Amino acid sequence: MSVNKLNLRYVINASGRMTKLGVSTLSDEVVSAMKHGGQHYFEMEQLHAEAGKVVAQYLHTEAAFLTNCASAAIIQSVASLITKDSQEAVHRLHDADLELNREVLIMTGHAIDYGAPIKTMIHLGGGMVKEVGNENGCTLADIEKAITDKTVAMVYVQSHYCQQNNMPKLAEVYSLLQHKEIPLIVDAAAETGFYDHRKQADLYIISGSKALKGPTSGILAGKKEFIQYVRNHQVGIGRAMKIGKEAIFGLLKAMEQYPNNERSADEQLELLQPITVLNQIEGVTVSILKDEAKRNIHRARITIGENEAKSAQDVVNLLKNGPEAIYTRDYGIAQGYFDIDPRSLQIQDIQTIVERIQHIMEG
């Protein structure tokens, strides 16, 4: 069947780097690198080793390993710290009768669902989740008290999606766990400033397809000893999560292009400017805001008045179900607003969004 015969709608992605929309689009250079990888043969063990060296150099870590996605990196990092150098444990990770320490700590405010529950990923890696603190906060004392002789690791999610108030900072948690000799896994999959956190983790996870704008892939970076434990699982659970040669080459090219692959703040603001014309519609307010997590992202926030015939939810639904599927950033929909993220948009997309909202509100 020809790909041209697939019954697919045209999508305008104004929601950001979202997995449900394919995350990112690839540059010509990344596609070219993937073509090179896909059209040649390699000794895969050597390719993995050499690619890991290159990524580690970019991130200034001791070692790195590539997976098929960031979720796979979570799973394999947990599995590796459970089994360490035991080949028997690698092959019998699934066996409940095999006596292994499996306890993995995570703060309750970090036990998020990012499209799948992070606790599920920990369980798939053979871990037993032990939540620390509560929905409203956690302390270092709570973490220290939760550590037992069964604890093999802690997972810390560096994300604006997590509970921010009354939570210990990454540096504080890392310092405590270093003292207790408990490895720390940091999931920074969706972050843009991931260089800031890599030295405060034993295993550090990045998505290859979000900020890096590479193909679907994941990066595990960190201490050489722990990355070797991860490599052991290429003949275990990691077999189901291996990255293809074409994706490896594409990811390396994407890393080479980072951070010059993103629009500047001024370019984002200029692109968003045409949306402000919607302020002329009664009941509609447009404001330009910087990302709440202080990342270098600006968005247009569109607020629909409470007394309007159509609510913000109505507008969002009609945008998704129009002639082209327009996806917005909808986290504030219950408060009557939605956001337009410009990172994946072109000027013609902005014009289409404006016209569609005008039609919805005025027509």
Give a yes or no: residue 14 inside a domain: yes
Q: What integer pLDDT is reported at residue 241 of this predicted model?
A: 96
Query: Are 130 and 199 members of one domain?
Result: yes
Q: What integer pLDDT is reported at residue 294 of this predicted model?
A: 74
Window from 225-239, 285-299, 338-352 with minimum mean pLDDT: 285-299
Give a yes or no: residue 59 inside a domain: yes
336-363 average pLDDT score: 94
5-32 per-position pLDDT tens digit: 788 899 999 998 888 888 889 999 999 9
109-122 per-position pLDDT tens digit: 999 999 899 999 99
pLDDT above 90 as % of the chain: 80
Query: Are 154 and 249 members of one domain?
Result: yes
**Rounded-to-integer distance, Cα 300 and Cα 273, Å:** 9
275-286 per-position pLDDT tens digit: 999 999 999 999
Give a yes or no: residue 229 inside a domain: yes
Provide the domain limits for residue 132. 28-257
Residue 2 has pLDDT above 80, yes or no: no
Q: What integer pLDDT is reported at residue 234 of this predicted model?
A: 94
Query: Are 145 and 234 members of one domain?
Result: yes
Give a yes or no: residue 189 inside a domain: yes
Query: Are 65 and 210 members of one domain?
Result: yes
Phi, psi torsion values for 353, nearest 5 degrees: -60, -45
Query: Are 156 and 286 members of one domain?
Result: no
* CA pseudo-torsion sign 92, 96, 98, 101: positive
Query: Are 144 and 269 members of one domain?
Result: no
226-238 per-position pLDDT tens digit: 999 999 999 999 9
User: How many other CB atoms sit within 10 Å of the CB of residue 181?
Assistant: 7
Last residue of a domain, one of 211, 240, 257: 257
User: How many other CB atoms sit within 10 Å of the CB of residue 262?
Assistant: 16
Last residue of a domain, one of 257, 282, 299: 257
**Rounded-to-integer distance, Cα 244 and Cα 213, Å:** 17
Adjacent-strand bridge partners of 203: 185, 222
Give a yes or no: residue 328 inside a domain: yes
213-236 average pLDDT score: 96
On whether the CB atoms of residues 221 and 55 are closer than 8 A, the answer is: yes
Query: Are 218 and 288 members of one domain?
Result: no
Give the mean pLDDT of the chain: 93
- CATH code of the domain containing 42: 3.40.640.10
Residue 1 has pLDDT above 50, yes or no: no
Query: Are 252 and 118 members of one domain?
Result: yes
Closest CA to 223 of 173, 186, 248: 186
The count of domains in the chain is 2
Q: What integer pLDDT is reported at residue 62 of this predicted model?
A: 96
Give the pLDDT band (50/70/90) at residue 197.
Answer: confident
Query: Are 45 and 161 members of one domain?
Result: yes
- CATH code of the domain containing 305: 3.90.1150.180
Last residue of a domain, one of 198, 228, 257: 257
74-115 per-position pLDDT tens digit: 999 999 999 999 999 999 999 988 999 999 999 999 999 998
**What DSSP letter does each residue of 55-119 carry, written as one string?**
HHHHHT-SEEEEESSHHHHHHHHHHHHHHTT-HHHHHTTT-TTS----EEEEEGGG--BSSSBHH
Query: Are 220 and 275 members of one domain?
Result: no
Query: Are 123 and 12 members of one domain?
Result: no
Query: Are 234 and 111 members of one domain?
Result: yes
Give the pLDDT band (50/70/90) at residue 329.
Answer: very high
Give a yes or no: residue 23 inside a domain: no
Give a yes or no: residue 139 inside a domain: yes
Q: What integer pLDDT is reported at residue 4 of this predicted model?
A: 66
Higher pLDDT, 160 or 126: 126
Please name the amino acid found at residue 253.
K
148-193 per-position pLDDT tens digit: 999 999 999 988 778 777 899 999 999 999 999 999 999 999 887 7
Give a yes or no: residue 106 inside a domain: yes
Q: What integer pLDDT is reported at residue 260 of this predicted model?
A: 83
Window from 8-12, 220-224, 351-355 with minimum mean pLDDT: 8-12
